[in-house]
Structure 1
Amino acid sequence: MKEVKISVRNLIEFVKRSGDIDRRFFSNKRAVEGIRAHQRVQREYSKDFLTEVFLRTQEEIEDIIFTVEGRADGIEVANEVTVDEIKSTTRNLEELKKEENLMHWAQAKCYAYIYAKDNDLNNINVMLTYYQLETEEILNIKKTFTFYELRDFFMETLMEYLEFSRRIVEWKDIRNSSIKKLKFPFKTFRKGQRELSVAVYNTIDSENKLFVEAPTGIGKSISTIFPTIKAMGEDKIDKAFYLVARSTGKQAAKDALERLLNRNLKLKITVVTAKDKICLNDKVSCNPKDCIYAKGHFDRVNDAIIDIFDSCDNFTRENIEKFAKLHIVCPFEYQLDLLDFSDFIVCDYNYIFDPTVYLKRFFENSMIRFTLLIDESHNLLDRGREMYSAEVFIADLEKLFEILPKKRKAARKHIRNALDEFKKLDNRTFYSYDSFIYFNVEVEKTVFSMNDFLTKDKEAKDYEKALDIYFSIFKYTKILEYYNRDFVSIKSEDSIKIKSLDIAPIFANILKTPRSSVFFSATLNPIKYYGKLLGADEKTNYYKIKSPFDPNNLVVLRNNKISTVYRDRENSIEEIIENLKNFSEDKGNYIFFFPSYSFMEKVYESYIEIAENENIVKQDREMTEFEREEFLNNFTFSSSTIAFAVMGGVFSEGIDLIGNRLRGVAIITVGLPGLSYERNILKSHFQKKYNRGYEYAYIYPGMIKVVQAAGRVIRTEDDKGKILLMDKRFSIEPYSLLLPSQWKIYDFNDPTEIKDILKNFN
């Protein structure tokens, strides 16, 4: 007998859903998780109520055993047993009395069936409890069912899922059989690749976390993906996520997976495409009025899922768009549904870590065993802080007040109150570890009270602008749920901002759900700094893999004299240019990395005045994807291009210019983030918490950018290249200790010494 595992929620959503997509406003009962609403209702339960009751049952239908589980919000065990399902809403409760939500009843009836079966009950009550978020009123709707009525309903629901279940079971056998035969897709492992693969496999096997620093060019994508798939074939996990910060990382993972598919691997793969890119319309308008794919989407999407599942293994963007057009469904929502039936998923960090868009379905279903592979994970620290920060602009509240019709009295009142509370705060810019409670209360009430406008006034002037503002302030209220002593509230002239300082406790909680997590990058130094701030625990393993490349293929020059601190930069430009000219005298392509656009542009302007017949290009502040490709096209195997770029930008990591496409890289300054009010708050916080304020806020983030930029030079075993470090701080601790240990560094004071050092290397 084969087993299919599914949660009550996923079962009901797959079988019972219907209707349109309407993202002009999706009701708060979906947008707000309702955690506080659940807690409020549960606090008012009598002593006879059990809360958050875990339920599981197995049912055999034909040749399949279904394991179905879920968690009931509340079960009253008294003279009569009542299963309660709590739903939060902003709708008028009188309206809910007159209509029946089939999805809500279906979910509650499944819980009631499992409990009645386990406890030999002939009859059981099922209750829906609606909590009105704005008024805090509660509506209870109760029905009584016999055990046989519930059993018939439950079995009929499973029968509707049976056909697709067989596909899942058959596919798993095909997949695992192909994985057993799968061999590493290259003749031999590169140095370090086997080490990394073994470390990843052991981490999955032991259900642990791993932070690993693996050098650039080792082939991290295939070295993490291959052992993960092998573990999947041995039934250690059901699914894997490969998380990336940039499109370049996504492409590397896609290439590695397709290489394995070409070796007869059978694997359902989805590389997630952003909504604005995969949308089939000229403008993203997710509502049945403006989009034919949104109208009736849920009536047709299951057929679309079955069709693509039977037709192909690689759910590429092209395939998703093809079947979306065929079945007239929204390609983005269709893509998200396909993740339930994908074995390997490549997507951005935010689909796991961002509180407003994360894939909740995988965190609510305890039966899914999945692992996370987190690429270039040094990027996750700043990204994570951004995910858990939010800002309300006073101009947005004023604009929203203008847009709302006068009949929307409650929403207008709360906006006016929020503006008044803002005025009561000091005129100066300041921050506080305590949230601005009175302002926040009015912002939250604004969100809840906008339901009527958003659902009934969709034709109002500037509705789309109001919706954008709504989602902005909704995120603010969402982040408030996480507020603790690792957050501050910043009051400026025109906004209130919640800023996350230390995301470690939040991430530690998120990482409890995956069976294993692997954080990897070429630059995780100090490695335990990243572990500490990204949610590692005492069992987490740390590993550093030595560079497999011949150290004689890279020469690193370090100027011990030049100062590029902010106050000295203007006076250093002439000397910087002399260093750059001597460093790049021989033919080839070079990139000069600077700490900021403004400093880069000043040096660039001076450099081109003395340049002789050189092909010089410069990174612009705003560049389209096409412009970025054109920039990189200047680096050919036979060209001599000088490029000016910014550390931490799109050209300082994630690009591969192998062989003669890149001869050398110059790095000007130690890359410290610019001094700012918010960065200094971060420094102060980490000084109090870890006694390492300046290191955590400035030095470590800066030196990561330096090493990432330097990593563009050596990408393969055959590459040869050179690096120029320009800032005397590179020679002193702690900066010198953060440079890669395998570098052979040649110190000098005078630019004329560069030629002598390079004489033997060139």
Structure 2
Amino acid sequence: MDLRYWQSFLKDKVTEYLKNGFLVSLQAPTGSGKTLFSILVSFQVKPKVLYVVRTHNEFYPVYREIRKLNKTYSFIIGKSSACPFVSGDVDPEDIKCSSCEIYNSAKITVDESPFAFIKKIKKDGVEKGYCPYYSLLGSIEDSDLVLITYPYLFLPYLRESLDINIEDFAVIIDEAHNLDYLNDLQERKLNQNIIQLAKNKVKNSEVIKILDKLEVEIRKSVFSDDKYILMDNYPKLTEDELDILKDEYELEREEAVKQKKISRIYLGNILKFYTSLSEAKVFSYKGSLVSKPLTSRDMLSILNANTSFILMSGTLPPIEYMKKIMGIERRMIYIDVEKEVKSKITGNYTCMIATDVTSSYSLRTTEMWKKYASYILKIYHLAEKHILAVFPSYMIMEKIMNLIEVRKFVEKDKTNIEEIMEKTKQGKTIIAGVARGKLTEGVELTMEGKSLISDVILAGIPYPSVDDFLKLKAEQIRKITGENLIDLLISVPAYISVKQAIGRAIRSPEDKANVWLLDKRFDNIMWKTKLRCYNPRKVKL
């Protein structure tokens, strides 16, 4: 197999580190070939590979590479995606498998792409009487490479469901810049809408009475602010009330399987919120009560196990962050591919810094938003292709994009990539999204492997909000490390978000893009160094 120069140059070095018990952190830009590289070196170390991605959408590139290597593969998706009786967005715990008539597995061999294969076995499972989910679990034993998503590695109960000895595998974790947000997997939310949807399915008057009371108390207690506010006093349920809700929930689960029509059971959301409280703080956030752990350290402790791990990303956090914030204690080698080979291995970009605008909190005015809108319109008319505009928050995005009347697509809570593709077919489009949102992490607008985005706009610096959640997280980490690391918790997520946004326009070695840094705070040595914008052009309206 023909390898790129950097792959040949680093292959033996990375293999040796893995064999000697190091965790390898590999930073390589998008389109550089790190997926194939990581698989090749992993098979040099162990006979089986576990490839871990954030979402199901990231399965296909791995499938494409594994086909080149004459290796067998399988994949695991959640019950809600595998069950043939599910409709819509369902929590896996809503599915009562033990009551299902096809609750048994069949021996299967995965011989197609993941999405084509799951479509086939969902149909076959109903016709032949086997469960696609448990059959996929059974296929792990005979597969050289197994594709899973984050929950199946980092949530202990799901990892145990794989029934494997993880030390028998080399483990590749892709998009590893997301690992500090694993605590989002354990986030539980409660709001008036969830309670109302739960009531719509309930006929038991006692349950309705409990939910009516809870809805009134929630309405009185939450705030609409777009930041986390610690809640010491929030609506509680008694043990008796929880038992009544549990009984009703079990009846709904049983009936859904019996009818072979499984949809989300919102009573489950309420129960999970209240059963999560022993391990999490409770906050108000955008009209909801939210509970989640302050850090991801407990889930990330698996990385300290005696297993061969490769963490990969185009924008890895620095090693200090990985050790002190994420809690990685084992021996680790940090390899930045472009520094190792002393050359660029993917496309390039030109930086411009606007020195007359800022999203700094004290200077957020109507006039500032108008100035940002003028910049974005000017860039739109100059751009050759589509424009990705990234904002620090939904509020700022709304204020600015409401002033812009050209063709645009503005990210919403339920935005999907298909909607963007349809919009951009109409002509040059401003694609507006928030930092750390769906568009800056997932959008892949390409044709024949090359990016269709020519310009990236950073409309302000996406520093995380210094709210109650961040302060409590910093305090918990201070108790563990003895250091005040709040500056690290603010700066690292911000520059990773900026680099991720830029990466949307650089999808191949041939891509070139214009990067517009619209905030005067970018004009300092730290930002120029982190973004490798050593000689940016300064602009003003």
Q: Is this a same-fold pair by TM over 0.5?
A: yes
Note if 1:556 corresponds to 2:317.
Answer: no
Q: How does 1:71-86 map to 2 (within 5 A)?
A: none
How does the TM-score come out when normalised to structure 2?
0.77
Q: 1:733 to 1:223 in 2, by over 3 A?
A: same
Instruction: Give the conservation status (yes or no) of the 8 Å contact 1:596–1:647.
Output: yes
Structure 2 counterparts to residues 546-585 of structure 1, below 5 A: 546=338, 548-549=343-344, 553-566=348-361, 567-583=363-379, 585=382
In structure 2, the CA distance between the partners of 1:625 and 1:330, relative to structure 1 (3 Å rule), is farther
Partner of 2:140 in structure 1?
A: 339
| 1:450–1:530 distance in 2 versus 1, CA, 3 Å | same
> CA–CA distance in 1 between the matches of 2:296 and 2:96?
39
Deviation per residue, 1:615-655 (Å, 9 max, x gap):
x2213313245313324546xxxx64443333323332342
TM-score, length of structure 1 as denominator length: 0.57
Q: Within 1, Cα distance between the matches of 2:494 and 2:254?
A: 47
Task: Provide the residue aligned with 1:369 in structure 2.
Answer: 168
In the alignment, which residue of structure 1 is the partner of 2:438?
Answer: 650
Partner of 1:671: 462
**Shift in Å, 1:500:** 1.1
1:750 alignment counterpart: 540
Q: Is the 8 A contact 1:200 1:518 kept in 2?
A: no
CA distances 1:465-502 after superposition (whole Å, capped 9, x unpaired)? 9964246524753673xx3xxx5355899987543112
Distance 1:590 1:228 in 2: 38
Distance 1:532 1:490 in 2: 25
Please report how far the alpha carbon of residue 515 of structure 1 lies from its aligned counterpart in structure 2 after TM superposition. Answer: 1.6
2:400 counterpart letter in structure 1: V
> Does residue 214 in structure 1 map to residue 28 in structure 2?
yes
Which residue number in structure 2 is paired with residue 591 of structure 1?
388
Identity of aligned residues (%): 18
Q: Which AA in structure 2 matches 1:544? A: D
1:232 aligns with 2:31: no
Pick the aligned partner of 2:314 from 502, 505, 522. 522
> For residues 474 and 491 of structure 1, what CA distance do their matches in structure 2 show?
17
**In structure 1, what is the equivalent of residue 15 of structure 2?**
201
Question: In the alignment, which residue of structure 2 is the partner of 1:266?
Answer: 71
- Partners in 2 of 1:456 and 1:468 — Cα distance? 10
1:475–1:343 Cα change, 3 Å: farther
Q: Partner residue of 1:725?
A: 517
Aligned twin of 1:349: 150
Relative contact order higher in (CA < 8 Å, ≥ 6 apart): 2
Q: Distance in 1 between matches of 2:76 and 2:155?
A: 15
Q: Where does residue 3 of structure 2 map in the other structure?
A: 188
Q: 1:473: which partner in 2?
A: 271
Residue pairs, 1:108-257, within 5 angstroms: 184=1, 187-191=2-6, 193-194=7-8, 197-198=11-12, 200-233=14-47, 239-257=48-66
1:380 paired to 2:179: yes
Q: CA offsets, 1:663-697, max 9 Å, x none? A: 22121111123454434433454466554454244
Contact 2:315 2:500 (8 Å CA) reproduced: yes
Does the C-alpha gap of structure 1 residues 214 and 286 become closer, same or farther in structure 2, counting only changes over 3 Å? Answer: closer
- Whole-Å separation in 2 of the counterparts to 1:259 and 1:551: 22
2:121 to 307, 311, 320: 320
Aligned equivalents of 1:606, 1:296: Cα separation in 2 = 56
SS in 1 for 2:404: helix
Aligned equivalents of 1:280, 1:226: Cα separation in 2? 35
Tell me: CA distance 1:320–1:580, structure 2 relative to 1, closer, same or farther (3 Å): same
SS of equivalent to 2:358: coil
Aligned partner letter, 2:397:
M
CA distance in 1, matches of 2:480, 2:304: 24
Q: Is the 8 A contact 2:154 2:299 kept in 1?
A: no
- Structure 2: gaps spanning 5 or more residues: 224-228
Report the alpha carbon displacement of residue 513 of structure 1 after superposing the two structures with TM: 4.9
Q: Structure 1: 5+ residue runs without aligned partners? A: 1-183, 234-238, 752-762
Q: Distance in 2 between matches of 1:379 and 1:444?
A: 39
Measured in 1, the distance between the counterparts of 2:204 and 2:377 equals 65
Aligned partners of 1:321 and 1:458: how far apart in 2? Answer: 21
| Offset from partner CA, 1:95-149 (integer Å, 9 cap, x none) | xxxxxxxxxxxxxxxxxxxxxxxxxxxxxxxxxxxxxxxxxxxxxxxxxxxxxxx
Q: Taking structure 1 as reference, are residues 633 and 194 closer, same or farther at Cα in structure 2, changes over 3 Å only?
A: farther
Range with greater deviation from structure 2 (278-287 or 711-720): 278-287
In structure 2, relative to structure 1, the CA distance for the partners of 1:514 and 1:619 (3 Å cut) is farther
Residue 409 of structure 2 corresponds to which residue in structure 1?
A: 618
- What is the rounded CA distance, in whole Å, between the counterparts of 2:42 and 2:300 in structure 1? 22
State the SS of the aligned residue for 1:511. helix
Contact 1:699–1:735, Cα closer than 8 Å, also in 2: no
Contact 2:408-2:432 within 8 A present in 1 as well? yes
CA deviation string 1:202-234 (max 9, x = no partner): 34423432222222321221111122233334x
Q: Structure 1 residues 676, 631: closer, same or farther in 2, change over 3 A?
A: farther
SS in 1 for 2:58: helix
User: Cα deviations across residues 184-211 of structure 1 (Å, max 9, x unaligned)?
Assistant: 3xx33143x3455445533442343222
CA distance in 2, matches of 1:678, 1:470: 25
Whole-angstrom distance in 2 between the partners of 1:493 and 1:633: 34
Letter of the 1:335 partner, please give it: L
State which of 393, 402, 409 in structure 2 corresponds to 1:605: 402
What is the DSSP-based 3-state SS (H/G/I as helix, E as strand, rest coil) of the residue aligned with 1:663?
Answer: strand
Partner of 1:85: none
Partner residue in 2 for 1:539:
331
**Residues 579 and 196 of structure 1, relative CA distance in 2, 3 Å threshold:** farther
1:740 to 2:531 alignment: yes
CA–CA distance in structure 2, aligned partners of residues 492 and 587 of structure 1: 39
- C-alpha distance after superposition, 1:382-426 (max 9, x if no partner): 1x11223445679989979x96969x9xx99xx89x98xx99xx9
Change (3 A) 1:225 1:359: same
Secondary structure of the structure 1 residue equivalent to 2:441: coil
Supply the distance in 1 between the matched residues of 2:112 and 2:401 (Cα, whole angstroms).
49
CA RMSD of aligned residues (A): 4.6
Out of 689, 699, 713, the residue aligned to residue 505 of structure 2 is: 713
Q: Matched residue pairs, number?
A: 512
